[in-house]
Amino acid sequence: MSERVSLMQGNEASVEGALDAGVRFYAGYPITPSSEVAEDFAAKLPPLGGKFIQMEDEIASMAAIVGASLAGKKAVTATSGPGFSLKQEIIGFANMIEAPCVVINVQRAGPSTGLPTSPAQGDMMQARWGTHGDHPALAVAPSSVADTYLLTFQAVNWAERFRMPVMVMLDETIGHLREKVILPSREEMIIVNRKHPQGSPQSFQPYDIEDEDLIPPLPPYGSGYRFHTTGLYHDETGFPANRPEITKRLLDRLHDKIDRYKETLYLYDSFGLRQANQLIISYGGAARSAKAAWRIAREKGLLVGLLILKTIWPFPEEIVAQAGHDKNNIVVAEMNRGQLIGEVERIMDKRIPIRGAQRADGVLITPEQILAQLEGVN
Amino acid sequence: MGRYEIRLSGAGGQGLILAGFILAEAVVRFTDQEVIQTQSYGPEARGGASKAEVIISDEEIDYPQVTKPDFLLALTQEAYNKYNRDLKEYGTMIVDERVDAAFRGGPTYVVPIQRKTQERLGTRLVVNVVSLALFNHLHEVVPVDKLQEAVLERVPRGTEDLNKKALELGQELAQELNTYKVFREEEEEDE
Amino acid sequence: MELEKYFRENKLPHIWCPGCGHGTVMSSIIRGIDKAGWDPNKVVVVSGIGCSSRAPGYMDFNTLHTVHGRAIAFATGIKLANPELKVIVLTGDGDGAAIGGNHLIHACRRNIGIKVVLFNNYIYGMTSGQYSPMTPEGSLATTSPYGNIEPPFDLCELTKSANANFVARGTVYHTRPLISYMEKAFAKDGFSYVEAISQCPTYYGRRNRLKSPVEMLEWQKKNSVDIKKAADMEPEELQGKIVTGIFADREKEEYTARYDRLISEIQGGKK
């Protein structure tokens, strides 16, 4: 039961986290800056009896992991902006049919081909609203290599527990960063597996809720529980049902299964919130600069608090509101033209000034840029 | 030691990214310090100048990028030209003897790293390990035997002897480092 | 034969139009599965979007109705994750030849043990009659109101060139050979492709002077040429004909078997 100390890269840590959580299937397509994820899975899965496949495109990779998931394997894909765009339709399909899977997006500067080797956090709203239709989203954003391991592990667990795609929103800064990490021993990591049906195959209805947790069990193909699955709105039998009350019931449940547990899903770090009249909110790679800015501000004697969000979707509204309600300046630091700042503005009292420290030119935002948005820095 | 920023630069293919990686790994394995290693990616990493950067600190390293290196190694003129500008005031520089470097105020050493490597080892393949030993001696990051352990773990099989010799050569150059030290040009004129 | 057991009878009648050929293709597939003797629990039938892709809903196996064009990619994940499963993909000329064409050729190239049955009715039926990559030149469709000027794909030649282990084409009119192609395709370990010429009286026939399903079946009968006979015919003579028969019948090592061999080599320290 000893902790694991090593020099590790962010992309590599996502692979380690996934493997430790029980992932045994990876399908992907090469794209910078996520290729190390694929390369690492290609080397590490076969010795574990797992499968790696390089598919013919991004869409096929997403389809393959959903297929593998239904066949009973925990499955992951990784990509970056252009590939994340291509995968969206099947991310929506996975939401609709409730297929557990994890998508790692090592964000780079966009739109389009953008800057393939430069950091950005421009896909945060895409993770929420990228696929068509109303649907819930689960997404995390690591701000260190150790976090990448832990949050990818968590993402796999959540995918299994809630039966839906979970997105790990890395960015180039963290994906390519190598740093010293101290990870808990494998014995300390608690693995969650999808539920298996309790009843007989004859009475099995794939979308019938046996427990009160709103999440139906998922037997793997080949286990004797034969069922139909479709991306059309369906009833508890899994077959299409074009009736308003059934449409509403399914859509409500897809949202409720997350809403009901959302407060247990909020992962974050906070520093000095109580003795503070100003607040910095950040996440992912930008949070490293935010941490530096917070440290420098404190050294200057400013009363500043720091909130680093790890869970992005569902957006931790209650946490942000609690941290920010008594502040007279809130700075949201991110590497885009202002994405999560909109969420902060949406939930905060309109009288509290909210400022963005934003950078979207392919360069990691600096602590100085964030400091410049605080009051009292000269 | 507070935050210390290191930049190792040279031509692509000289193995400086591996050197940075080995240095960072040695810090993890043999010290209690925090460490970060970054490098160039994409077209920048493919031709011409290449760099690897390492940050070592007693404290948590928040901002992960090198902005004002405390130390710069430049093995080629192109790398020097590209990567010397933001050297910290009074920062330390080691450049190859073929690099025309301007004196920047801090300790500056012009060392025949490439020539000696070629003469003594018959190849320049291990110029990265020679440089690594040189830097390690200057800053005593880890004991020499630990550096050797870290190097041998990561170099291709069959090249262990060559790399041991490279470490020895690096040590040797380090011993005589003061003879390679250069001073402000006016001072030289005064002599 | 007791074929009813393979159907979800409570889901019938099907949604296909009167006179549609797809029911015949589906029953040929069922006969092929019956002949193969597979345990229905181990059979997974995957489809995309379109008229043909509704077939799995009526078949009592593990069935997966996915998104447009990607059924083969889903099936690849299923087969690779659990090679024990018998994986069949049902697709159409739009789903399989247009949006899904790339997945088709790569599945052939890998020779992964998926059996693809393509229902070719020369038209997008579900979206009401647009031309597909397999619509004959000159045909009228809602999106080729002046006649189609694009040459059609010959997917049998394509899949054969792309390394499929088994390739055949049959028609709904010639039911017996069609069933035998299904049987042969399902008996193969590697990738199989069977193209079934079907008829769409609603959106293809009506617009193209084939007034009834019967006329369309007669057209299939009149225009079919066996592949052996076709070998001796000139290209001009084959214009507008349906070449039927077995295009490829090979025994290359199947992808997931090869993958499992790789894993045991790695685990045995040989790699």
DSSP states along B141-179 = -S-HHHHHHHHHHHSPTT-HHHHHHHHHHHHHHHHTGGG
Predicted complex ipTM: 0.97
Q: Token match 């004959």: residue?
A: C136
Question: B189: pLDDT confidence band, cut at 50, 70 and 90?
Answer: very low
* Domain ranges, ordered by start, for chain A: 4-188, 269-371
Chains B vs C: touching, with 3+ CB pairs under 8 Å? no
The helix (run of H) or strand (run of E) holding residue C238 is helix C235-238
Question: Within an 8 Å CB–CB cutoff, is residue C84 touching chain A?
Answer: yes
How high is the pLDDT of residue B43?
Answer: 63
Long-range contacts of C184-189 (CB under 8 A, 24+ apart): C184/C246, C184/C249, C185/C32, C185/C115, C185/C117, C186/C32, C186/C33, C186/C35, C186/C36, C186/C38, C186/C86, C186/C88, C186/C115, C187/C36, C188/C113, C188/C115, C189/C113, C189/C165, C189/C251, C189/C254, C189/C257
pTM above 0.95, yes or no: yes
The helix (run of H) or strand (run of E) holding residue A331 is strand A329-334
Query: Which of A177, A366, A367 minimises the CB distance to B38?
Result: A177
Residues 6+ apart with CB under 8 A from C216: C19, C21, C199, C201, C204, C205, C210
Question: Within an 8 Å CB–CB cutoff, is residue A7 touching chain B?
Answer: yes
Helices (H), chain A: 10-20, 35-44, 58-70, 81-97, 124-129, 145-162, 172-176, 244-259, 262-265, 286-299, 317-324, 340-347, 367-371
The helix (run of H) or strand (run of E) holding residue C228 is helix C227-230
Question: Within an 8 Å CB–CB cutoff, is residue B36 touching chain A?
Answer: yes
Cβ contact, residue pair B64, A364, below 8 Å: yes
* Cβ atoms C83, C112 nearer than 8 A: no
Cβ contact, residue pair C41, A89, below 8 Å: no
pLDDT, tens digit (0-9, with 9 covering 90-100), for A210-223:
778 999 999 999 99
How high is the pLDDT of residue C231?
Answer: 96
Report the alpha-carbon distance of residue B51 to residue B18 in Å, rounded. Answer: 10
Report the alpha-carbon distance of residue A371 to residue C98 in Å, rounded. Answer: 54
Cβ contact, residue pair B63, A291, below 8 Å: yes
How high is the pLDDT of residue B134?
Answer: 96
Cβ contact, residue pair C106, A55, below 8 Å: yes
A residues 164-193 near B, CB within 8 Å?
A: 172-173, 176-180
Alpha carbon of residue A125 to chain centroid: 12
Q: Does domain A4-188 have CATH number 3.30.56.10?
A: no
**How far apart are the CA of A241 and the nearest CA of chain C, in angstroms?**
12
- Any idea which architecture A269-371 has in CATH? 3-Layer(aba) Sandwich (3.40)
Report the alpha-carbon distance of residue C177 to residue C175 in Å, rounded. Answer: 6
- Any idea which architecture B4-190 has in CATH? 3-Layer(aba) Sandwich (3.40)
Question: Within an 8 Å CB–CB cutoff, is residue C66 touching chain A?
Answer: yes
Other Cβ atoms within 10 Å of B44 Cβ, number: 15
Sequence-ordered strand ranges (E) for chain B: 4-11, 34-39, 49-57, 71-74, 92-96, 108-111, 181-182
**DSSP secondary structure of A40-55:** HHHHHTGGGT-EEEE-
How high is the pLDDT of residue B191?
Answer: 42
Q: Which residues pair with A331 in a beta bridge?
A: A280, A355
Chains A vs C: touching, with 3+ CB pairs under 8 Å? yes
Shortest CA distance to B30 belongs to which of B153, B138, B129? B153
How high is the pLDDT of residue B46?
Answer: 65
Question: Within an 8 Å CB–CB cutoff, is residue C169 touching chain A?
Answer: no
Q: Is the pLDDT of residue B39 over 60?
A: yes
Residues 6+ apart with CB under 8 A from A264: none
Cβ contact, residue pair A179, B44, below 8 Å: no
Fold match, A4-188 / A269-371: yes
Low-confidence ranges of chain A (pLDDT < 50): none
Interface test with A, best of C49, C62, C104 (most A CBs within 10 A): C62
Length of chain B: 191
Query: Which of C42, C62, C263 minimises the CB distance to A49?
Result: C263
Q: Is the pLDDT of residue B77 over 80?
A: yes
* Domain ranges, ordered by start, for chain B: 4-190
CB-count exposure of residue A120 (10 Å: 0-12, 13-18, 19+): buried
Task: List the Cα angle A249/A255/A258 in 5-degree steps.
Answer: 135
Q: How many CA atoms lie within 13 A of A181 on its CB side?
A: 26
Question: B183: pLDDT confidence band, cut at 50, 70 and 90?
Answer: confident
Question: Within an 8 Å CB–CB cutoff, is residue A142 touching chain B?
Answer: no
Low-confidence ranges of chain C (pLDDT < 50): none
Residues 6+ apart with CB under 8 A from C62: A221, A222, A226, A227, C41, C43, C44, C45, C85
> Considering just the CA atoms, what is the radius of gyration of chain C in Å?
18
Percentage with pLDDT > 90 across chain B = 84
Q: Which residues of A touch B67 (CB under 8 A)?
A: 366
Q: Which residues of B touch A5 (CB under 8 A)?
A: 28
| Domain C17-267 in this protein, CATH class | alpha beta
Q: Token match 């196996």: residue?
A: C61
Task: List the Cα angle B75/B78/B81 in 5-degree steps.
Answer: 100
* Domain ranges, ordered by start, for chain C: 17-267
Question: Within an 8 Å CB–CB cutoff, is residue A86 touching chain C?
Answer: no
B residues 102-121 near A, CB within 8 Å?
A: none
Q: What is the 3-state secondary structure (H, E, C) of C181-204?
A: HHHHHHHCCCCEEEEEECCCHHHH
